[in-house]
Chain A
Amino acid sequence: MDKMPRWADVFLVPFINLILAFVVSGLVVLAIGENPFKAIWIMISGSLGSTSGIGYTLYYATNYMFTGLAVAVAFHARLFNIGGEGQAAVAGIGTALVLLAFDWPYWWLAMPFAIIGAAVFGAAWAFIPAYLQAKRGSHIVITTIMFNFIGAALMGFLLNGILKNPDTQNAETVAFPKGAHLPTVHEVLSPLGINFAKSAPLNVSFLLALACAVGVWFLLWRTRLGYQIRAFGQSETAARYAGIDAVKITVITMLISGALAGMLSINVVMGEQGRLIKEFVEGAGFVGIAVALMGRSHPFGIVLASLLFGMLTQGGFELMWDMPAISREMVLVIQALIILFTGALDNMVRDPVERLFLRMRKRKG
């Protein structure tokens, strides 16, 4: 076996990446004259040290889980779906249309239909690039990223036109019916006597995200379709030879991926905002790529990685709050460094670590 042990692959390498990222960001913080240890402490305690902090962290993590899973599923078929941003945005239209269509009496009645609406619209937005890739060979990276822009334009058109709430300046729809409000953690836990921060936007979509993670695991490793997806990703020619229909697998994988990205709109549009606003995805589609990379495209890794990115988003806000010298742009730099090290520069650490393990094994042998 010429591989390093699994625990090193899954935990050690990401951990070293993370440490490196923190060291470099620490230097950046030091350069502007603040204490880097204090900054890290603020980010950790701000994201996990209070129920409000945890509520926000898990709320962001929910978003990243959906988009991370979306990227991962496509990745297993060696399709690089960077259109999560657009697919989630268009799925928001589906969610809004479902929720505005009726005066929903109960959230548990509205939620399944909203999920279907979001999934259908998200999948539909992924379908065209998938079809173009499968039938015409148009590269999916190019088409999905182009569809992000088309999606943004479509949102702008609808939210300034027929879907716009006439009573406001904002490009947004009217508020959804009260019955369609997803219970927040505060509302779920307060009858049990547990006091969770009222402002935290964490809602039942978090459970949906975990269910999706389990579902993706089951799909990929326990079903025939999942096997075909992975076989197709490993070697397209071999898969074709084995009788796997390349067009079918490409399209189905992208439909699943788009639908997963679309679930983000359940958390944000239905859960947090209670109306459809223009820029609700806010880069989560792109963060999903980093999450999937860091999580090694495995649902369990993705859940962990999205928790980390949720902490970064929420901790970044706390950092701005407690260290006014650190501006919004500085927080972005720190977050970007972590993405850079864990995502893009992954092999920089992986290769030396792997060699180290192999050498140690040789010596033992």
Chain B
Amino acid sequence: MSPDPAEAPETTVGEDAVGGQEAGRRLSAARALDVDPLLDDPETRIVVCCGSGGVGKTTTAAALGLRAAERGRKVVVLTIDPARRLAQSMGIDSLDNVPRRVKGTEGEGELHAMMLDMKRTFDEVVEAHADRERAAAILANPFYQSLSAGFAGTQEYMAMEKLGQLRAREEWDLIVVDTPPSRSALDFLDAPKRLGSFLDGRLIRLLTAPAKLGGRAGMAFLNVGMSMMTGTLGKLLGGQLLKDVQTFVAAMDTTFGGFRTRADATYKLLQAPGTAFLVVAAPERDALREAAYFVERLAAEKMPLVGLVLNRVHDSGAAGLSAERALAAAENLEDPRIVDQGGGKAGLRNSPDTYGSSRTPAPESAAGDPSDTAGNSATAGDTASEEGSPADTDRPVDRLTAGLLRLHAERMRLLAREQRTRDRFTARHPEVAVVDVPALPGDVHDLTGLRDIGTRLASDGAED
């Protein structure tokens, strides 16, 4: 252990808890991610931010969009379900499914932002693919209304659909997408495929055209299955719902082709060279576990992962002072001062007898720690008593200092915990580049806050 806590190099974050070796390993294992080259590259057309709920995905997407815009690009940020004040900070608190120019950005570029309205997006798709009469029939169908407004998964489909639409308009150089707060963060990847396979499925064919199937010899057995099935579904769902579904499916028949083509196109778009995925997480067990799944899944789907954005990472300007030493020092200060009791100070202070049996072991080990500790305490004690015995004026500073040390101990434990969690991730995925974004005490509500996060997203990479 360094004899001088404040002199310890800053890079050995959590050294005392994790061990110097671990800290060294971290530096060599995780590459630093620099977002600027990514944002500046005209080849980058889509950036997808994904990760589990509550890790700051939307904020990250907004900050990246702002940074790219202020570096000269024409950007649109597609948010799914932004916190109210974040949306207000970008001026998109009206949910109208249309990109709006964000005012107050600096430089040549432009930032547009929009909030996804899934029902509206679905309606637009229907209107685009069916003639007016048919579209009206679909939009009025109760099954459709429930499907478009509610069920788990629509949001994912529609987010991908909207992405495809925005990309097709060729109005922006860069689209930054936030992903829906799904049951599983992976759902949106499955959305296009699932929709496609559902629409291609035999069930749909049965529901849409039972007569057609009956004509084919090979499908004869399906007729048995079908009558049994529609019978069962009828029993289960109630005949009227089944009828609604059938009407809906029949009305949608012609639009299915379009749906499927678009779903496939969006999926391919995600694999294309111009797309970059950023996994967003916080240094917490669950979030990083989800992030690891994500990394594996993206690799399996051949989707280009650029790196991991680790939000809310803590740091300390006094990382060389361990939690244990800080706590021991705090207990030293909180000890009833010998001067107050008017007894012999130095002698008593250093005597093990003054420590009652109720003491925790921590202060004892501290008292016996480096020999200069005891020496310093004694001299300081002398100084204190020389300044006169108004212990009352002196104590608040001691109490405060003890509080500062306890705060620091808490911080150091947090650092150690974060380090352990990320070590686990790094061990599994040493190939993933990481950028840290420091924890901020409050939430972000304005462009200044977003800009600040953008700077942090870029500068961490630049420094390392």
A binds B: no
Please report A residues at the B interface, Cβ cutoff 8 Å.
none
